[in-house]
Structure 1
Amino acid sequence: MHFKIFVTSLAIIGATLSFKAGALESQPVLNLDTAKKIAAGCQVEASKHGWKMSVSVVDEGANPIYFQRADGAYIGSGEISNLKALNSAKMQMPTSMLDEFAFGKDKKGGPAPGLAHIPGFITIAGGLPIKAGNKFLGAVGVSGGMPHEDEACAQAGLNALN
């Protein structure tokens, strides 16, 4: 009798665990293929304008997934694109918003001017969070042009997913 109860209990626990694991599998995830699509979308937009860009994609924990530097892009743009992606991921917001926090919309001072002085923190447009609905998946950072050009390319990368 006790053996049947034990086996039945194990079966119920196993079914519950497999159901929960199935629920995890259905959650959106940022993988290498998706990161490559984002980077490709960025580079398509850049090539339309003759811009040479570097693109970095990180996951929700700010871990690198993919990096791409266009031929002729500034060497330093690689590091800057990475910092934009990292900061956008860590703060879960566009880096242009961080610029507004640090310097204000009118560039006469924002509510958090110290942001611009934190080592490794970047407050330049071109980093955008990657979301699926309300779920934060990571961020893309683009560098190589003017900040508004970088952000336009990052947005084109996100648009390439639709």
Structure 2
Amino acid sequence: MDLFREMDMRLIKLFILISSIVFIHKNAFSLELKPVIDLSIAKKMADVCEAMRESKKWNPINIAIVDDGADLVLFRRQDGAFLGSIDIAIRKATSSAMIPRSTRKVGELAYGEDGALGPRPGVATIDFLVPFAGGLPIRTESGHLIGAIGVSGASSDQDEECAQAAIDAVKHLLK
């Protein structure tokens, strides 16, 4: 009788082991693969933005690049860049990743295009949103959000131009 009970326990343990392996194997293949922004792409983007700033003789800038969860991937500060724009660059990138729209669009929602009240003036009161240009979402060719870039230190229009040039320079890498 003990022999049968021992065999039953072994079979039960074997069944549990096999079931666990099948469950783990099945779930491993069900993980979704998604495109991400990596450090090498972020560095290329920052290099392009810095080169543009140099060639156009704009004020020194801060550049922040975040992933789709608004976690910082890269931050770069040029010598002489305004210290207050460190946080602004990071918040521009974070805003664009979380919305996901340009920070210029956030400003238009809050203040309108002419500076009067926009269609959603309450947007201006949300702490993490920056309502002026310089933050842009980064998308793959298929439109999948993989992150955002925020630039601050020059004028907001120049910041946005720099951010767009950085995105355009790596478009071919964003599959």
What's the TM-score, normalizing by structure 2? 0.79
Identity fraction in percent: 38
In the alignment, what sits opposite 2:39? 32
How many angstroms does 1:9 deviate by? Answer: 8.2
Separation (CA, whole Å) in 2 of partners of 1:114 and 1:15: 48
Alignment of 1:12-161 (within 5 A): 16-17=26-27, 19-21=29-31, 24=33, 27-51=34-58, 52-132=60-140, 133-161=142-170
Separation (CA, whole Å) in 1 of partners of 2:143 and 2:128: 27
What amino acid is aligned across from residue 130 of structure 2 in structure 1? I
| Structure 1 segments of 4+ aligned residues over 3 angstroms from their partners | 6-21
Q: Secondary structure at the match of 1:150?
A: helix
How many angstroms does 1:8 deviate by? Answer: 9.6
Change (3 A) 1:9 1:44: same
Q: Secondary structure at the match of 1:155?
A: helix
Q: Secondary structure at the match of 1:145?
A: coil
Larger relative contact order (Cα-Cα within 8 Å, sequence gap ≥ 6) = 1
1:26-69 C-alpha deviation (Å, 9 max, x unpaired) = x3111111111111121111111112110001111111111001
Unaligned runs of 5+ in 1: none
Unaligned runs of 5+ in 2: 1-10
Instruction: Say what the alpha-carbon RMSD is for the aligned residues.
Output: 2.2
Q: Secondary structure at the match of 2:138?
A: strand
How many angstroms does 1:13 deviate by? Answer: 6.2
Separation (CA, whole Å) in 2 of partners of 1:115 and 1:8: 53
Separation (CA, whole Å) in 1 of partners of 2:36 and 2:28: 19
Please say which structure displays the higher CA radius of gyration: 2
Separation (CA, whole Å) in 2 of partners of 1:157 and 1:126: 12
Q: Secondary structure at the match of 2:148?
A: strand
Separation (CA, whole Å) in 1 of partners of 2:130 and 2:109: 12
